[in-house]
Amino acid sequence: MSGGQKCRVVVLISGRGSNLQAILDQAGSGALPVEIAAVISNRPGVAGLERARRAGVVALELDHRRFADRPAFEAALIDLIDRQQPDLVIL
Q: Quick check: is 67 in a domain?
A: yes
- Give just the sign of the alpha carbon dihedral 84, 86, 49, 43: positive
Q: Quick check: is 24 in a domain?
A: yes
Q: Note the pLDDT tens digit of each residue in 47-88.
A: 999 999 999 999 999 999 999 999 999 999 999 999 999 999
Q: Quick check: is 33 in a domain?
A: yes
Q: Are 6 and 28 in contact (CB under 8 A)?
A: no
pTM for this entry: 0.92
Helices 47-54/18-29 angle, 10° precision: 10
pLDDT category at 2 given cuts 50, 70, 90 is low
Q: Quick check: is 82 in a domain?
A: yes
Residues 6+ apart with CB under 8 A from 29: none
Q: How many domains does the chain have?
A: 1
The domain that holds 47 is classified in CATH as: 3.40.50.170
Which ranges in 8-69 belong to alpha helices (H)?
18-29, 47-54
Q: Which domain holds residue 15?
A: 7-90
Q: Quick check: is 55 in a domain?
A: yes
Q: Quick check: is 2 in a domain?
A: no
Dist. CA 23–CA 11, nearest whole Å:
9
Q: Quick check: is 46 in a domain?
A: yes
Residues 6+ apart with CB under 8 A from 18: 48
